[in-house]
């Protein structure tokens, strides 16, 4: 029985899957199994995976069903005591699993260990640092405000926790990882490795770039979370949770290359951010950056329209 099971969902990931798998197989913890869940790929993903000569690596191919379903399919094949997930275009530092495993061993009450994230581009070059959160123990209230783990390629989780809370919600078209972390936080403590160990790849085709879908799914996650008994005493945080979501979506819309920026959707997100938390208007630097970026996006859009006249 392996110590750790790593689940890699993939759909048409021929450009990145090999590097992702290599970053897992080169971990300082060697007692692991790597389960690639091929979600109906139509490119050479399956052939690439099968060409990697490592007995710890297995691939299971299914019809296309989405990310949440692929993660759940992976869970059904696991034999490890601990579970981790990594998307097929992300990378880990070589010591990610070992550091998180040790953090869990040192914290009997914790079922989830997370690390920090750095963001990389399509060429694996550093873009920016993620949040440097160091919360431990009961993190539910903070998770209500935003996804402190930032992405689904982050945590190491005790397998027994999934027996208690079940798998990922396949009805959610996005934000299913945030929903999972919230559900885990209702029952278990979290611990942290204060190091950047997840390299999250940002690309125009990543799921997180479908912002309207992410908005709808995230709002549903928020509504569910605040109906839980654990949130009974913090209902006042709900509007701030929505404000944080819309602030994130605003800048996500403006992070795109100029040709793909949408000033209208960014304005919609920004207006909702202010609606739920008017105090944000006192953050002058944040407001200035948002307004300037939205204005520049609108100018770029209008110039593009004139060129097509």
pLDDT grade, residue 267 (50/70/90)? confident
Nearest-angstrom CA–CA distance, 116 and 286: 23
Least confident span in 48-52, 129-133, 264-268, 275-279: 264-268
At 81-126, the pLDDT tens digits run: 999 999 999 999 999 999 999 999 999 899 999 999 999 999 999 9
Q: What is 204-220 written as a DSSP string?
A: TTSGGG-HHHHHHHHHH
pLDDT grade, residue 251 (50/70/90)? confident
Structural domain boundaries of the chain? 4-208, 226-307
pTM of the model: 0.91
For tokens 């404000």, the residue is: 243
The mean pLDDT of 229-235, rounded to a whole number, is 96
Cα-based angle 208, 251, 219 (whole degrees, multiple of 5): 55
Number of Cβ atoms within 10 Å of the Cβ of 19: 14
Q: What is the CATH number of domain 4-208?
A: 3.90.550.10
């Amino acid at each position: 029985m392996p110590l750790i099971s790593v689940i890699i969902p993939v759909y048409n990931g021929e450009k990145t899957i090999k590097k992702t798998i290599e970053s897992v197989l080169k971990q300082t913890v060697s007692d692991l199994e790597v389960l690639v869940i091929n979600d109906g790929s139509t490119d050479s993903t399956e052939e690439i995976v099968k060409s990697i000569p490592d007995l710890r690596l297995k691939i299971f191919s299914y019809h296309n069903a989405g990310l949440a379903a692929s993660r759940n399919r992976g869970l059904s094949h696991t034999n490890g005591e601990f579970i981790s997930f990594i998307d097929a275009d992300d990378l880990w530092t070589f010591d990610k699993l070992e550091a998180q495993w040790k953090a869990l061993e040192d914290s009997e009450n914790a079922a989830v260990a997370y690390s920090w994230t750095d963001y990389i581009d399509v060429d694996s070059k550093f873009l920016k640092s993620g949040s440097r959160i160091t919360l431990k123990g009961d993190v539910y209230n903070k998770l209500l405000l935003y996804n402190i783990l930032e992405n689904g390629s982050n945590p190491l989780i005790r397998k027994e926790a999934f027996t208690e809370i079940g798998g990922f919600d396949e009805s959610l078209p996005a934000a299913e990882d945030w929903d999972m972390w919230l559900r885990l936080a209702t029952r278990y403590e979290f611990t942290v490795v204060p190091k950047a160990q997840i390299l999250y790849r940002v690309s125009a085709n990543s799921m997180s770039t479908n912002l309207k879908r992410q908005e709808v799914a995230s709002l549903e996650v928020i509504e569910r979370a605040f109906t839980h008994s654990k949130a009974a005493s913090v209902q006042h945080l709900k509007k701030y949770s929505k404000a944080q979501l819309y602030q994130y979506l605003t800048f996500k819309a403006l992070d795109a290359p100029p040709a793909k920026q949408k000033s209208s959707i960014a304005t919609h997100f920004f207006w909702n951010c202010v609606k739920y938390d008017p105090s944000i208007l006192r953050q002058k630097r944040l407001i200035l950056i948002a307004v300037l970026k939205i204005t520049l996006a609108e100018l770029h859009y209008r110039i593009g329209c004139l060129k097509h006249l």
